[in-house]
Amino acid sequence: MRFPQAIVLSLSAASLLLTLPSCGYSGSGRTPPAPPANHDERMDWWRDARFGMFLHWGLYAIPAGKWNDRDNHGEWIRTTAEIPRETYAKFQPQWNPVDFDADEWARMAKDAGMKYIVITSKHHDGFCLFDSAVSNWDVGNTPHGRDIMQELSDACRRHDLKFCTYHSIMDWHHPDYLPRRGWEKDRTTEGADFDRFERYLHAQVTEVIQRYRPAVMWFDGEWEKTWTHERGVRLFELCRKLAPEMIVNNRVDVHRQGMQGFSASTEAVGDFDTPEQEIPATGLPGVDWESCMTMNGHWGWNATDTRWKSDRELIHNLIDIASKGGNYLLNVGPRADGMFPPQSVARLASIGQWMAVNGEAIGGTTASIFESLPFGRCTVKTAGDRTKLYLHIFDWPSNGKLVLPGLANTVDRAYLLSDPSKPLMVGDNGNSPGATVSLPAEAPDATASVVVVEVHGQATVFRTPRIEAEATQFVTSLGVTVAKESDLADLRYTTNNTTPTAQSPIMPEVLHLESSVTLQVALFQGDRRVSTVVTQAFEQVRPLGPVKARAFDPGLMLTTAACDWQTIPDDRAIFTTEGKTVAAVGTAGPPAEHTAHQYFGFLSIGEDDLYRFQLTSDDGSKLWIDGKLVVDNDGLHGPKVQLGSIALGKGLHSFELVGFNATGGTELDLKWAKLSEAFAPLPETALRHNAR
C-alpha cells in the first residue's frame, strides 16, 4: 500500500487504529492454551514431510554481504555493518528482482524432494515481502511492487507444496521496537512504546495469516528481554484463533535453549522445536523438531561465501535428521535479481537425483529403532502388518555383510531400494543377536545406498541394557539398577567375572553392592541371548582421612584477581591480594569480566561417605579437595555443569575453588550431595577457615 511514511508512523502512534481479534489472555497467570484436540492430525503432514526449503530473501540481498571493506555480512548486515536506519532505507527503491519466478522456485523445491517452503515474510530488518496495510516498509513501495508472497503461495499450490512463512518478532526499523542496537547511539528511544509495537506485530501477523493462509507460522527473534512469555502466549493464541489448523514453531515463546532450539520449560507454547545449524546427537521420542541449516555460511545471499557444503554432506544431513525423527529445513538465499545462486541450484538438483530413487526412505518415515549402526542410519515405515527398515549405507561394508544388531523379527525380504526386483540373502548373526544381509560387491550409490528390510508386524530391536548408578565408587554400599526397554526378554547378571548365561540369576529391581565387583548383564529369551553383554566395574573405596588442621572461623576466604585466562593455570600465584571472609560460595557474587575468584578454607565432613559435587560456571572453574582435582569445568564456555565425586572421612578437608569469567555470563555455583540425596548448596556450617 502506497501512502506517506508520516501517515504510517501516525498510525503506529495511534495504536494502528485496527480492530484485531481478541486473544482473551490477560497475562495474569492463566495456564497457556493446550493444543487443540486435533493436534496430531494438524501435525501429520509436517511429520510425513521430513524435508523443506527455507528462503531468506530481502533487502540484504542487494549488498550481497559487502559493506565498505568487509564482505562477510549476510541477512544481519544492517547491524553487523552498523548501517544507520536512513542509510539502509535507501535499498528499498533498489528492490527490483526482475528475474523472480515463483514457479521456478517451487519446481526446484519439488524436484529436490521437498514438501514445503518457508519464506521470510519479514526478517529482523523489518522489511516485508508483502504489501502491508500498516507500513510502507515493504515491497509494495518498491519499483518491483509485486506481491511475492501471493505469487509463491500460488506456485506452491500448483506444485503440491505447503506454503509457510517466517516472521521476525525483532524489528530494527520500527520506531517502537526496543531495545535499540547497542551501536545506534544517535537513535533516541524517546516516545518508543513496545506495547504499541506488539499491536503492530499482531496486525502484520494477522495480514499474513488471513491473506496467505500459511501452513506454518515460523517465528524468530524472540530472545531479547522485551519479548516475554506472556507476549509469546498472546501471539500464539492469535495464530490459533485465526488459523486453528496452522502449525506454530516454539520461537513464538521465550524458552528456547539457544541454537540447540529445544524449549526448556513445560509452560512453553509452540508445536515444534527448532535446532539451528546443528543436528541433535540423538532423537527425542515424542518431540517434534526441525533442524534449519544453511548450504554455506550465510542465510541471506553473500556473493563471496565459498563455504558450500558438498552434495554428500547435505544428503547425509537429510538422512541423519530423518533417522532421528526430525525434519530438515534447508536454506537458500536468493540473489537480489530473484535467481537462486547457481551453487544452490546444483546442490538441489543433486539432492533431487538421490531423492528420485530413495525418497521413499525419507518421506513418511519415523526414527531408527537401532541405538547406532556403524555403516550409516536407519529410517522406519510401518503400514498395516508390515514394517520396512530403510538402511542408509554411508560406508559400504568391505566384507559384504550388513549386520542388524539385536533385531528380534524374522526378516521376510531384503533388497536394494534402487533395484527391488533382486532379493538379498539374509542370515543370522552367528552367536550374536540380530540378522545379517549379504550385499553386492559394489555400492549402487557412492553417497548413500539404501537397503530395505521387510519384517512382519512392528519391528523390535533388543537394545543394550543400561547399567545405572550414581557413582562407580562407594564407601559402605551402593544401589545399582539396569534399564531395559523390552518386556519380551529377561535381564540376567553376574558379579563373579563370568559372562551371563540363561542360567544366571535375574537382575533384581535394585542390586545392593557392599564390596567391589564387576557387574555383567545381558538380555535372554529363553536360552538365547538377545543383547550384547554390558560390563561395569564398581569399587568400594576407603575415604580420605581428614587433614591435621584446626579451623575455628566460619565461612571461606575469597580472593579476587584480574585475569585474561582461557584456562585456569596450574600456578595460581595470581591471587596475591588480601582475602576477605564470605559465608559461602557465591555470596559475594559471581566474578566480573576478566576476573577470577578463589575460595579456600576447609570443608567439615560429618561422616564417612562418597560425596558428589556439581559445579556450574561461565566461564571455567575447578574444585580441589585435599589437593585432589574433584571437578574440572575449565575453559571458555557458556553456563555449563560438571560433576565429580570423592570419598571423604569425618573431619576437616582442605578446600579450594577457582572460577573465572572472560566476558559475558558470570555464573559460578557449587552444590553437593551424598549418594541417594539431591544436590544442595554447601551449608555454611560445613565451611571453615583460619583468618589471615
User: Which residues in the chain are classed under CATH 3.90.182.10?
Assistant: 553-689
Percentage, residues of the chain above pLDDT 70:
93
- Rounded CA gap, 280 and 314, in Å? 16
Domain 376-456 carries which CATH code? 2.60.40.1180
Domain 553-689, classified CATH 3.90.182.10, yes or no: yes
Mean pLDDT over the full length of the chain: 91
What is the predicted pLDDT for the residue at 552?
Answer: 81
Q: Which of 266-270, 311-315, 449-453 has the lowest mean pLDDT?
A: 266-270
> Phi and psi of 96, rounded to 5°?
-155, 70
The pLDDT tens digits of the residues spanning 127-182 come to 999 999 999 999 999 999 999 999 999 999 999 999 999 999 999 999 999 999 99
What are the residues whose beta carbons fall under 8 Å from the beta carbon of 14, sequence distance 6 or more? none
CATH fold of the domain at 5-11+50-358: TIM Barrel (3.20.20)
The angle, 0 to 180 degrees and rounded to 10, between the axes of the packed helices 5-13 and 194-212 is: 110
Q: Which of 21-35, 391-405, 648-662, 673-687 has the lowest mean pLDDT?
A: 21-35
What torsion do the CA atoms of 648, 654, 657, 658 make, to the nearest 10 degrees? -140
- Which grid cell sits at 301? 545471499
Q: Does the structure show a pLDDT above 90 at 388? A: yes
What is the predicted pLDDT for the residue at 20?
Answer: 39
SS3 readout for 67-112? ECCECCCCCCHHHHCCCCHHHHHHHHHHCCCCCCCHHHHHHHHHHC
534 to 407, 483, 494, 506: CA distances (angstroms): 17, 12, 11, 15
What is the predicted pLDDT for the residue at 690?
Answer: 83
| Residues 670, 617 contacting (CB under 8 angstroms) | no
What is the predicted pLDDT for the residue at 26?
Answer: 34
Q: Is the backbone of residue 664 left (phi > 0), alpha (psi -120 to 50) or beta? A: left
User: Which residues in the chain are classed under CATH 2.60.40.1180?
Assistant: 376-456
The pLDDT tens digits of the residues spanning 629-666 come to 999 999 998 889 999 999 999 999 999 999 999 887 78
What are the residues whose beta carbons fall under 8 Å from the beta carbon of 365, sequence distance 6 or more? 50, 322, 379, 380, 381, 390
675 to 128, 478, 491, 616: CA distances (angstroms): 57, 8, 25, 19
Pairwise pLDDT comparison (25 vs 636), residue with the higher score:
636
- Which grid cell sits at 143? 519499483
What is the predicted pLDDT for the residue at 18?
Answer: 39
The pLDDT tens digits of the residues spanning 513-545 come to 999 999 999 999 888 888 889 999 999 999 999
What is the predicted pLDDT for the residue at 11?
Answer: 39
What are the residues whose beta carbons fall under 8 Å from the beta carbon of 211, sequence distance 6 or more? 130, 149, 150
Q: Does the structure show a pLDDT above 90 at 361? A: yes
What is the predicted pLDDT for the residue at 310?
Answer: 98
- Rounded CA gap, 531 and 434, in Å? 9
Average pLDDT over residues 228-233: 96
- Which grid cell sits at 113? 524432494
The pLDDT tens digits of the residues spanning 55-64 come to 999 999 999 9
Q: Are strands 162-168 and 116-122 parallel, antiparallel or unpaired?
A: parallel
pTM for this model (two decimals): 0.78
- Taking the CA atoms of the chain, what radius of gyration do you get in angstroms? 30
Q: How many residues does the chain have?
A: 692
- Rounded CA gap, 260 and 273, in Å? 9
Nearest to 124 by CA among 201, 225, 206, 72: 201
| Residues 302, 73 contacting (CB under 8 angstroms) | yes
459 to 112, 241, 290, 383, 417: CA distances (angstroms): 30, 40, 25, 12, 19
User: Which residues in the chain are classed under CATH 3.20.20.80?
Assistant: 5-11+50-358
Domain 466-540 carries which CATH code? 2.60.40
- Rounded CA gap, 410 and 408, in Å? 7
